[in-house]
Amino acid sequence: MVNNAGILRDNKLVRVKDGELVKQMPEKDFDAVIAVNLKGVFNCTQVVAPYMINQGEGVILNAASVVGLDGNFGLTNYVATKAGVIGMTKVWARELGRYNIRVNAIAPGFILTEIVRQMPEEIVHGMLARTPLRRVGEPRDVANAYLFLASDEASFISGVTLRVDGGIVVGT
């Protein structure tokens, strides 16, 4: 099973201008991201785990993000969910391993998707400048990581979060 749900509601925790609070992240935005990105992963895994236990094996792959490992400006809610997914991955690897179920996560970095295509050019250049491989990842780079972790070639890998990010340095 691949848990690959995710939404964004980018916003800073608080905005201050001239020493005055002018805006806060709306709680509804925080809750919406938690509901999809974290609770959705929990719900789907809780449903599929008994079937995998009964069949005596399984692989669960969770979509995380490099920002779940490193943090990033303006993404409190999103970072919280992806860090939570990484934590659940570790717990479930321990809980479900006795049933021959492997649980891992993939943490993509800067991948050429519709979201990236719509980003302002200066943001894209800034991300590339912080990526040692000096290119944007392709969706196939992420797909290949999933394929590997789902395969028998990864039969002794569980509880890890695999970065697919070209070595990017985030968190500013």
Tell me the whole-structure pTM to 2 decimals: 0.90
Q: Mean pLDDT across the chain, nearest whole number?
A: 92
3-state secondary structure 40-63: HHHHHHHHHHHHHHHHCCEEEEEE
Tell me the HSE value of 151 on the side-chain side, using a 13 A CA sphere.
Answer: 7
- Out of 51, 78, 99, 146, pick the active-site residue: 78
Distance, in Å, from the CA atom of 170 to the CA atom of 81, rounded to the nearest integer, reads 17
Residues 33/75, Cβ–Cβ less than 8 Å? no
pLDDT of res. 118: 80
CB 87 within 8 A of CB 42: no
CA distance 70 to 82: 10
What is the distance between the alpha carbons of residues 50 and 115, in angstroms, rounded to a whole number? 35
pLDDT tens string 45-98: 999 999 999 999 999 999 999 988 888 888 899 999 999 999 999 999 999 999
Considering only residues 153 and 131, tell me which one the structure prediction assigns the higher pLDDT.
Answer: 153
The Cα–Cα gap between 58 and 49 comes to: 8
99 is catalytic: no
pLDDT of residue 170: 63
Q: Which domains does the chain have, with CATH numbers?
A: 2-164 (3.40.50.720)
Q: Work out the angle between the directed axes of helices 40-55 and 76-96 (0-180°, nearest 10).
A: 10
Q: State how far the Cα of 130 lies from the Cα of 135, in Å rounded to an integer.
A: 10
